[in-house]
Amino acid sequence: MTTSVTGARLPPLTASVRYIRSLGKESAADVLARARASGRFAVQPRCGVGDHDAMRGLLVELAEGGAPDLLTLTIDSHTRLGRFEQARRLAHLSPRELNGYPLVAHGWRRGRDLNESVTAPLQIRHGSPDARLMFETAVASGITSFEGGGISYNLPYSKNVPLADSLAAWEAVDRRCGELADLGVVVDRELFGTLTAVLVPPSVSLAISVLEALFAARAGVRCISVAYPQGGQLAQDVAALRAIPLLAERYLPPGVDVHPVLHEFMGVFPRERAHAEDLILYGALVTRLGGASKLLTKTYQEAYGIPDAAANVAGIRLAQRARSPLLGFLAADEEAAGRELEWILAEVAEIVEPLLDRADTRAAVIEAFADGRLDIPFSASTQARSEVIPRRDPTGAIRYLSAGRLPLSAGTLRRHREQLDAGQGETPSMGSLLSELTRDINYFPLLFGESTTPGGAPGAAPGEQADAPRRNLRRTQ
């Protein structure tokens, strides 16, 4: 047995498996498989507060008001970073100061209380480079879906955690998933392809997810969700979602169930409610057209900070309307989506296949990030070079203004230059480039004709995303 920070001993794995079976509820993997079979994507909101009773009340309110297919425990920053004692102290003295639910501090018995309060399965979303104790607590709580990975939950969130450490910690989590699968409980492991959520090129997102999925599958994970962040251009987003099962077939061993997942637009949201709701519905339609198994929803309050329960319910119900059989006439531009799919598959191959040729894939990944052959844009981590500079082309699709040291072919780089506006392929001044990137990040508010603040963000919460290029671009100049 392992002892948690609350002093309560965690039950053995076999006892947790018995508890999960006794709940009599679908697992997250069951929900995803049913959604795929029915052609009606599952819907999941984000939510997380520090106080236990408030967290239970929020889950019940979302379940009763929106009937989502899955529900979320978003974990607080202290727990994410392993500061369990700080999280425990605040959970007892001032839970409102926490920006999520401190699962490890509250303990697995309270986790079970949350699980038993709703019929939908729960997922843990957090952002930790080392989630081993959090995972053990989640399993003891009966939770059957756990997000993250050694790359995607390190580089976007941490300043200086060595990749070797985070990859090793997440391998331990994935091996535990393999043990659970052998005991008859399949845990859905969702990979955070959203990364920094700021103009992430599809091939970067999917290349990272392919590598994390490969590590997870080798460790014994049986169900993998690959999350892709909505970029904003329909053909490109639909193609990226459709690429996920093709990449799984190409690179993963047999016997692994893989589900495409869309995160509704993670960038700067419009302030006006009608505009925000248009964007929410648009994301849900992209989910449908791309054949994703699940959608992570947003709310009309997104530009202002953490949404209240009523706004969250409204976002769930609006997204669900995209599943209507009356919308069967809708279709993507198949010619455009087909071209994008071909390009994405080729770019992912150019990025990952040199690494897969190495005997030690993990060492190859660590070396590739060190020298820039793997990279993500606008990362605050010292483990990434952040030399990739994305831009939107005239259609709104995300292209490479600079691919940094990614091993993309000359033909691929030439195509990206041609797809960008004339003059954008040249290296602009720092001030000019920051201005152009800010416009790209503010794509949807500007599309709706909304004004933006000088910092580029129309609201306080997304402003950090708009400022990310300003914080990190100097590393690339």
DSSP 126-145: ---S--HHHHHHHHHTT--E
Angle at 317 between CA 63 and CA 71, to 5 degrees: 35
- Tell me, what's the pLDDT at 179? 98
On the 0-12 / 13-18 / 19+ scale of CB atoms within 10 A, 178 is: middle
For the chain, 477 residues long, give each residue's pLDDT as a single digit of tens.
Answer: 465 555 568 999 999 999 999 999 999 999 999 999 999 999 999 999 999 999 999 999 999 999 999 999 999 999 999 999 999 999 999 999 999 999 999 999 999 999 999 999 999 999 999 999 999 999 999 999 999 999 999 999 999 999 999 999 999 999 999 999 999 999 999 999 999 998 999 999 999 999 999 999 999 999 999 999 999 999 999 999 999 999 999 999 999 999 999 999 999 999 999 999 999 999 999 999 999 999 999 999 999 999 999 999 999 999 999 999 999 999 999 999 999 999 999 999 999 999 999 999 999 999 999 999 999 999 989 999 999 999 999 999 999 999 999 999 999 999 999 999 755 545 566 668 889 999 999 999 999 999 876 443 333 333 445 555 554 444 433
- Tell me, what's the pLDDT at 1? 46
Q: Residue 99 carries which side chain, given as an amino acid letter?
A: N
- Tell me, what's the pLDDT at 451? 83
Angle at 245 between CA 404 and CA 401, to 5 degrees: 20
Q: What pTM was computed for the model?
A: 0.93
Cα distance between residue 68 and residue 28, in whole Å: 12
Cα distance between residue 51 and residue 31, in whole Å: 28
| CB neighbour burial string for 101-140, b if at least 16 within 10 angstroms, e if fewer | bbbbbbbbebbbbbbeebebbbbbbbbbbbbbbbbbbbbb
The residues that are catalytic are 80, 147
C-alpha neighbours within 13 Å on the C-beta side of residue 73:
38
User: What structural domains does the chain harbor?
Assistant: 13-327 (3.20.20.240), 376-476 (no CATH)
Cα distance between residue 452 and residue 10, in whole Å: 49
- Tell me, what's the pLDDT at 421? 77
- Tell me, what's the pLDDT at 197? 92
Q: Helix, strand, coil: what percent of the chain each, to 5? A: 50, 10, 40
Question: Are 87 and 128 a contacting pair, CB within 8 Å?
Answer: no
Cα distance between residue 359 and residue 253, in whole Å: 16
Q: What would the pLDDT profile of 321-360 be if each residue is shown by its tens digit?
A: 999 999 999 999 999 999 999 999 999 999 999 999 999 9
Q: Cα-Cα-Cα-Cα dihedral of 29, 30, 31, 37, to 10°?
A: 110
Question: Are 344 and 202 a contacting pair, CB within 8 Å?
Answer: yes
Cα distance between residue 204 and residue 202, in whole Å: 5
On the 0-12 / 13-18 / 19+ scale of CB atoms within 10 A, 357 is: exposed
- Tell me, what's the pLDDT at 4? 56
- Tell me, what's the pLDDT at 439? 94
- Tell me, what's the pLDDT at 464? 44
Cα distance between residue 439 and residue 442, in whole Å: 5
As given in the structure block, the two tokens for residue 385 are 């070079």
Q: What would the pLDDT profile of 18-52 be if each residue is shown by its tens digit?
A: 999 999 999 999 999 999 999 999 999 999 999 99
Q: Is the dihedral of CA 196, 198, 204, 210 positive or negative?
A: positive
Question: Are 288 and 241 a contacting pair, CB within 8 Å?
Answer: no
